[in-house]
Structure 1
Amino acid sequence: MAPSASPTEGSPEWAAKWLGDPERNRDASKVVGRYAQLAIVQSGGRQGDTALCDAEWAKITPAQKVMVDRQGFDEGCRIAV
């Protein structure tokens, strides 16, 4: 029996666990946004940069966008720390 792969924390599939609960889905989507912000910073971008967050959102497939709350994603990604 092959082990099943579980979604990685911060992935759209991980956020989908909460699709039936809008508040938890939004909170999970914030985590997805924070991971996107981490990717931005690691590539030399500035934290909280709206254009870079929009570019990270554009990388998410349409099927994944169904699982992620955009407002939650933005709240997680656009926070300048």
Structure 2
Amino acid sequence: MADLDHSSEDNSSVDSREESSQDTKLEFSEDEEVLVILMYNLVGERWSLIAGRIPGRTAEEIEKYWTSRYSTSE
């Protein structure tokens, strides 16, 4: 029975870490923001190239950030 309680505690801590990491994904520093804008102007929507210049960021994070911040409705 102690094993069951322990495993449920592990799951809740994992869930809270996942939620907090998803919330912070779109928090970019001013330097990162400037770099994303400059790189976008140079290479366009080549998110993997842009992410390669920002340590710890993925192409998906960069694209999600860009579309949430700078995407315009057509």
TM-score by length of 2: 0.40
Choose 1 or 2 for highest CA Rg: 2
- Larger % of helix: which? 2
